[in-house]
Structure 1
Amino acid sequence: MSVAAHFSEAYGRPPVAVWAAPGRVNLIGEHTDYNEGFVLPLALDRRTLVAAAPAEGATTVRSSREAEPVAFAAATVVPGEVTGWAAYVAGVVWAFREAGLPVVDLDLFVEGDVPVGAGLSSSASLECAVAVALAELTGTALDLTEVAQLARRAENEFVGAPTGGMDQMAAMHGVADRLVFLDTRSDQVELIPFALAAHGLRLLVIDTRAPHRLVDGQYGARRADCAKAAELLGVPALRDATADSVETLADERLRRRARHVVTEDERVLEVVDRLRAGKDPRTIGPLLAASHASMRDDFEITVPHVDVAAAVAEEAGAHGARMTGGGFGGCVIALVDTETGDRVTDAVTGAYAERGWDAPVVFDAVAADGAGRA
């Protein structure tokens, strides 16, 4: 059943329309966004769909994944009032209101195929789908970046997840066969060619089934370490630090955290330079592998499930593999030749079976368009 049909069944009338926003896969640039650095995600061809129509009295949010609807008043909802998955919806409404933009109560039905808890930003996908729906239904003209900034505020201040702005910017600015090169200090975007099929390549996403949670102490601790390192180095953010200056930090943990951010920014810029110049995307493989090693050794955000997946993928023929997302679980991406993709999948699945782990879920990531009407 389509999301529009679900809406009609739940509310007894059709929706005005259906809006959608993609999840994202970050090719490279992990934990650089809140350090005012560079990231290089793509909008994923898996989306959150939101059917919506104006409502009387209260906003009601439903999903076939959830047993009970959630209701709140658009004019008065505040942080802490709505929790769980519906907080991402309520947070967008609150962010619009806080920005002085009009809000109305809506009936909403949410569906989608962005894996939840896999580090593919299902939350930002939901926020952006709701935001474009609310903007259109209130006649509010916003550019792509403005919508992304409102969605980010919802996640940071209403939900309480201390994430950077990459996820929402990717969901809004994505274009088919393009990467979204984002300078997170200026929010400047450049679209970088990434038509892998033309080069005989695939980008596999290996969902390790080891779920991650960003609203726990680990993500916040890494962010605090980065802020402290920048303070000690006397720079506004680690984006402004140099590799040499980082090595002067006396605290070993802070030194390693800062080293990851500085070298990760350098890797993002190198990948962009190569792809912008039209070089074979295979040449970025070693940079993906170096990124994973840095996340494992310096930033310490990987877990055995992702380390095994990345290592086995490369042993089976991937040009490079790395964890993608906030860490402590989630997904690994592997850049593979078209004809070796199945071999890589089989190798990782076999390695998991040997360890008694649940089988990973593997699919192709294809760069897709950003949020809008479905």
Structure 2
Amino acid sequence: MSTLHRLLRPLRGDRAATDEEPPVSDGASPDELSAAFTSRYGHTPAGVWWAPGQAALLGEHTGDSGMTLTTALPWGVSLALAPTDDGTLRVASRGASGQAVRLAPGRQPLGAPAWAGRVAGVVRAARESGQLPDGAGARVLVDSDLPAGGGFAAAAALECAVLVALAQAHGNDALAKDPAALARVSHTPGGGSHGASTGPARAAALRYSRGNALLTDRRSGRTSTVPLDPHRSGVELLVITPRQRHGLRAGTAGRRRAECARAARLLGVDALPDVADLTRALDTLNDPVLRRRVQHVVTEAHRVNAASGLLRVGAVGELGALLTSSHLSLRDQFAVSSPTTDAAVEASSAAARGARMVGGRGESALVLADAHRAAEVRRAVSAAFDSRGWPEPEVRPACPAAGAHRVDG
């Protein structure tokens, strides 16, 4: 178990997903966030940093094994930070009123939000790993413009922004310039419920580059970039975040992991993506639930491989069929979609090239559409939600963004 995982575990408890994510505001510019920091703490910050939210194109629901294809979103978590040498940490949010939370090593004030505890966990992990001196502390002001509860790895973005900011503000340039070393400090194996981010999500937030998607082997942690330029292909990625929440119940992800692990044992493989003969594997299993799980994981692995091949030759528009196929499999075979994402995918089908759910609990949907039909997709999804009596969803165009970095100056 890594240092960060051990430190964060007692801070998580059974908090709700929204408590794991920093409060959302209108998205301050670096200058505005710096000014707000100065107003809050009475002195200027050392700088302003940012890390992106993330969305999976394919592959995230495979029982924590196999390959994932993800992209950084143009929205994320920003923070202004000033280093201190008194060993204490004060954390506040631009999106919430109230005093800054004061955190000392080894102590978590009662009632402090979980996202503030995550900041403390990163600071302590960096210190205990020897990357920061024992007396290293910070004053931090956090801001986020990620859709609240959208399933876009806000916790991973927060932790990575903090880690990069700490490294640069405390003068550890070697760490700040080494994504692999940063990932080792921030890595946690596995994942958790209620929005707890996973090790791969943290590592990815450090490695994204503008105009590219990231292909990640979840078992080895190895990554590679593949080009993703929707505009050049005349298409647009739309992120749809329902305001009416119909996400999965807590614990569903854990049950799916257990089912995949059980099926792998019965089939004599280390993990389900290793299955070479799907027909034979399905004939071997008697449990219909496990058969459905195996069918999803194995076919999803093939979809990830096909998608990465298409992106490498610039065929972004051809991803649509793979996205829709993945969503149908997530809905019917893996049983992790939600009524709102199902409605968004169905409503967009007439005008879009393809769509699928995103998020660990089916929180949002990702739609690929020809640019000239994006408005048609918006209208169709809005009408579908209105007909069900649901609030109009938030729809944002997205383009692949860079990873965690300093944004001021």
Task: Calculate the TM-score normalised by the size of structure 1.
Answer: 0.90
Match of 1:264 in 2: 300
- Confirm or deny: 8 A CA contact 1:61 1:86 kept in the other structure: yes
Match of 2:24 in 1: none
Answer yes or no: is 1:277 the counterpart of 2:309: no
Matches within 5 A, 1:103-122: 104-122=136-154
**CA displacement 1:279-313 (0-9 Å, x = unmatched):** x3222211100100011011111111110100110
- Confirm or deny: 8 A CA contact 2:216 2:223 kept in the other structure: yes
Q: Shift of the alpha carbon at 1:259?
A: 2.1
Q: Shift of the alpha carbon at 1:163?
A: 5.0
Answer yes or no: is 1:27 the counterpart of 2:57: yes
Match of 1:13 in 2: 43
Match of 1:49 in 2: 78
- Confirm or deny: 8 A CA contact 2:186 2:203 kept in the other structure: no
Report the residue type matching 1:177 in the other structure: G
Q: 2: CA distance between counterparts of 1:253 and 1:33? A: 14
Question: CA separation of 1:84/1:355 partners in 2, compared to 1, >3 Å: closer, same or farther?
Answer: same
Match of 2:382 in 1: 349
- Confirm or deny: 8 A CA contact 2:275 2:298 kept in the other structure: yes
Identity of aligned residues (%): 39
- Confirm or deny: 8 A CA contact 2:248 2:336 kept in the other structure: no
Q: 2: CA distance between counterparts of 1:79 and 1:292? A: 42
Question: CA separation of 1:18/1:85 partners in 2, compared to 1, >3 Å: closer, same or farther?
Answer: same
Q: 2: CA distance between counterparts of 1:15 and 1:60? A: 13
Answer yes or no: is 1:218 the counterpart of 2:252: yes
Question: CA separation of 1:361/1:149 partners in 2, compared to 1, >3 Å: closer, same or farther?
Answer: farther
Bigger shift: 183-192 or 96-105?
96-105
Match of 1:128 in 2: 160
Q: Shift of the alpha carbon at 1:152?
A: 3.9
**CA displacement 1:39-70 (0-9 Å, x = unmatched):** 11111111211111123352011002233332
- Confirm or deny: 8 A CA contact 1:176 1:368 kept in the other structure: yes
Q: 2: CA distance between counterparts of 1:300 and 1:257? A: 9
Bigger shift: 242-251 or 13-22?
242-251
Matches within 5 A, 1:172-211: 172-211=206-245
- Confirm or deny: 8 A CA contact 2:37 2:45 kept in the other structure: yes
Q: Shift of the alpha carbon at 1:162?
A: 6.4
Matches within 5 A, 1:1-374: 2-32=32-62, 34-35=64-65, 37-55=66-84, 56=86, 58-68=88-98, 69-73=100-104, 75-77=105-107, 83-102=113-132, 104-140=136-172, 141-142=174-175, 143-153=178-188, 156=191, 164-211=198-245, 216-242=250-276, 243-244=278-279, 246-247=281-282, 248-278=284-314, 280-315=315-350, 317-328=351-362, 330-374=363-407
Bigger shift: 3-12 or 75-84?
75-84
Q: 1: CA distance between counterparts of 2:111 and 2:268? A: 39
Q: 1: CA distance between counterparts of 2:266 and 2:52? A: 38
Q: 2: CA distance between counterparts of 1:17 and 1:172? A: 18
**CA displacement 1:235-289 (0-9 Å, x = unmatched):** 22223223235412222222222321221111000001112133x3222211100
Task: Calculate the TM-score normalised by the size of structure 2.
Answer: 0.83
Report the residue type matching 1:131 in the other structure: L
Q: 2: CA distance between counterparts of 1:161 and 1:149? A: 21
Any idea what SS the aligned residue of 2:323 has? helix
- Confirm or deny: 8 A CA contact 1:92 1:131 kept in the other structure: yes
Q: 2: CA distance between counterparts of 1:214 and 1:133? A: 34
Question: CA separation of 1:284/1:57 partners in 2, compared to 1, >3 Å: closer, same or farther?
Answer: closer
| Structure 2 gap ranges (5+) | 1-27
Q: Shift of the alpha carbon at 1:218?
A: 1.5
- Confirm or deny: 8 A CA contact 2:59 2:304 kept in the other structure: yes
**Number of equivalenced pairs:** 368
Report the residue type matching 1:167 in the other structure: A
Question: CA separation of 1:100/1:153 partners in 2, compared to 1, >3 Å: closer, same or farther?
Answer: farther
Any idea what SS the aligned residue of 2:188 has? helix
Could you say what the CA RMSD is over the residues aligned between the two structures, in angstroms?
Answer: 2.5
Question: CA separation of 1:128/1:286 partners in 2, compared to 1, >3 Å: closer, same or farther?
Answer: same
- Confirm or deny: 8 A CA contact 1:306 1:331 kept in the other structure: yes
Q: 1: CA distance between counterparts of 2:252 and 2:380? A: 30
- Confirm or deny: 8 A CA contact 2:72 2:208 kept in the other structure: yes
Question: CA separation of 1:46/1:162 partners in 2, compared to 1, >3 Å: closer, same or farther?
Answer: closer
- Confirm or deny: 8 A CA contact 2:60 2:68 kept in the other structure: yes
Q: Shift of the alpha carbon at 1:148?
A: 3.2
Bigger shift: 200-209 or 183-192?
183-192
Question: CA separation of 1:153/1:180 partners in 2, compared to 1, >3 Å: closer, same or farther?
Answer: same
Q: 1: CA distance between counterparts of 2:247 and 2:164? A: 26
**CA displacement 1:90-115 (0-9 Å, x = unmatched):** 22223324434325211100012112
- Confirm or deny: 8 A CA contact 1:33 1:165 kept in the other structure: no
